[in-house]
Amino acid sequence: MVTTVYIVRHCESTGNVEHRFQGRFDAPITPKGEKQLELLSLRFRNVHLDAIFSSPLERARLTAQAVNRFHDLPIQLVDDLLELDVGEMENLHLDEIGGKFPLVAKNWDETPDLCEFPGGETMAQAYERVNAALDDIIAKNPGKTILLATHGGVIRNIDARVRAGSVRGMRGGAVFGNTGVSILEAGEDGTLSWRRVNDLSHLPEELRRSPTKYQFHTEASGEVL
């Protein structure tokens, strides 16, 4: 019996376009994000879903509500699907991070599994939190088709487990665009495998954001938590 888990990253928020390290800051969504949600809802119009789970943050809740437009399911809020707790780094502009927190910035670029966010959680703690929540949701919904609306850091920790079986899989792992749809299959034996990763086919090019991971010590721009 396979449990199918759709995992959707939230739509574009103001923190994304302002290049902020949002963490758990509850930023509103943008007009572009609203357009992304309209198309996301149409994508899921004829997809069977048994349950929908969401991070409590607005950008994720609105994403879950868009998916739910044609389903009328209760949206179940799960605190452990919240974005990384980045503590003192929350909502800072990305170009501030390297100067204020050079060690964290270096680890984020090179060894993200070793990140310890000042006043927040470690990446190892986030990995355990996120994957324990995933296991609990799957255990309570065996053989069903469910959806999680959550955040880039959360999905990267799930991806680390699927690809490498540990938080070390964060190194060189996938990154995810706004409203990117990934499909995870969970077997009865506990195995997890991706059927699809970061599918943005519901969006035209002008509504897509690059899924490139931001590097604090380079000029690259892209994913913001």
Residues known to be catalytic: 10, 83
Q: Which two tokens stand for residue 137?
A: 């949701």
Alpha helix segments (H runs only) across 91-204: 94-100, 102-110, 123-139, 152-164
With contact defined as beta carbons under 8 Å apart, do 143 and 157 qualify?
Answer: no
3-state secondary structure at position 51? strand
Dist CA 93 CA 96 (whole Å)? 5
With contact defined as beta carbons under 8 Å apart, do 183 and 5 qualify?
Answer: yes
In sign, the C-alpha dihedral spanning 45, 49, 50, 51 is negative
Query: Among residues 163, 156, 152, which one has the least CA distance to residue 194?
Result: 163
Residue 223 DSSP code: B
DSSP string across 25-37: --PPBPHHHHHHH
